[in-house]
Amino acid sequence: MKTLAIDTSGKSAGIAVLLDNGIMYETYLNTGQNHSLVLLPEIDKALNTLKLTLNDFDLFVATAGPGSFTGLRIGLSTLKGFALSLKKPLIGVSTLEALAHNICVENLLICPVMNGPMDEIYTALYRHHDTEGCAPILEDHVTSIPALIGHIREPVVFIGDGASRWRETLKEHLREWALFAPEYISFCRPSVIGCIGIRKYERQEIDDMVSLIPFYLRVSEAEMKNPSH
């Protein structure tokens, strides 16, 4: 089975092509959130490199949130267009779940943390199991660092740009319980997103393409200023 997976949840764009669970192609570009300009050319580059067409894919997978409102819309709408026109399945993957899957230590508590507006964070708690991957302990939500600290009752590995920003605060309050993933794995790999999507596909957890929309976890600033719209 061939899978095309993308990540447009942040400032960088990632594209991966998988054959079953093996990586055929993967690229990660710091685009400065110019996803509308670079995403399609980079997908074309991947196809040309591998001598594939879009119709060769059996599955499309994209990060569905949380993250950049604009980036998520661009990524999801692009793959939704492919999937609808080709009548192929599409699966949306949580950005936080993808971050958590970068850490593969049995029974370890994992806390992905992404920076939100002002002092908000997007976060969740997962526990890794070798046979199941990362199982959610606390679902994706938007909160504050003090509130997150209140949920921690054991050693935990933090990962993500929010973990970097709030590192000293977390260490101060949680002391030896606060562990941190290295920076070089603290981002969403499109190949990981693809593998999560494949697992969901195998469990028949296929999204409805009409109703699938980005899950932002919060309203935009424009919506907060104009709640009637």
Residue 9 shares a structural domain with residue 91: yes
Task: Using DSSP, state whether 113 is helix, strand or coil.
Answer: strand
Is the Cβ–Cβ distance between 177 and 152 less than 8 Å? yes
Domain assignment of residue 158, given as a range: 103-185
pLDDT at 158 exceeding the cut of 60: yes
Convert 164-173 to b/e letters by CB count within 10 Å (16 or more is b): ebbeeebeeb
214/140 same-domain check: no
Distance in angstroms (rounded) separating the CA atoms of residues 80 and 86: 10
Do 88 and 108 belong to one domain? no
Q: Are residues 74 and 136 in the same domain?
A: no
| C-alpha dihedral, 181 to 128 to 171 to 161, nearest 10° | 50
Element (H, E) at 135: strand 133-143
Q: What is the pLDDT of residues 159-190, one digit of tens each?
A: 999 999 999 999 999 999 999 999 999 999 99
For 37-95, the pLDDT digits (tens) are 899 999 999 999 999 999 999 999 999 999 999 999 999 999 999 999 999 999 999 99
Q: CATH number of the domain that 111 lies in? A: 3.30.420.40
- Examine the domain organization and report whether 119 and 193 are in the same domain: no
Give the per-residue pLDDT at 105.
Answer: 85
Judge if 172 and 191 occupy the same domain: no
Predicted local confidence at residue 33, as pLDDT: 67
What distance in Å separates the CA atoms of residue 141 and residue 133, rounded to the nearest whole number?
Answer: 20
Radius of gyration of the chain (CA): 18
Judgement on whether residues 71 and 125 belong to the same structural domain of the protein:
no
Alpha helices in the chain (DSSP H): 35-50, 69-86, 95-100, 145-149, 161-165, 167-174, 190-202, 221-225
What does each C-alpha distance from 156 to 109, 111, 139 come to in angstroms? 5, 7, 16
Total domains present in the chain? 2
Q: Which residues pair with 110 in a beta bridge?
A: 126, 157
Residues 207 and 219 in one domain: yes
Residue 130 has pLDDT above 80, yes or no: no
| Residue 23: strand pairing partners | 18
Same domain, 146 and 131: yes
Whether the full predicted model's pTM is greater than 0.85, yes or no, is yes
40 and 83 both lie in a single domain? yes
Task: Verify that 88 and 165 share a domain, yes or no.
Answer: no
**Are 198 and 91 found together in one domain?**
yes
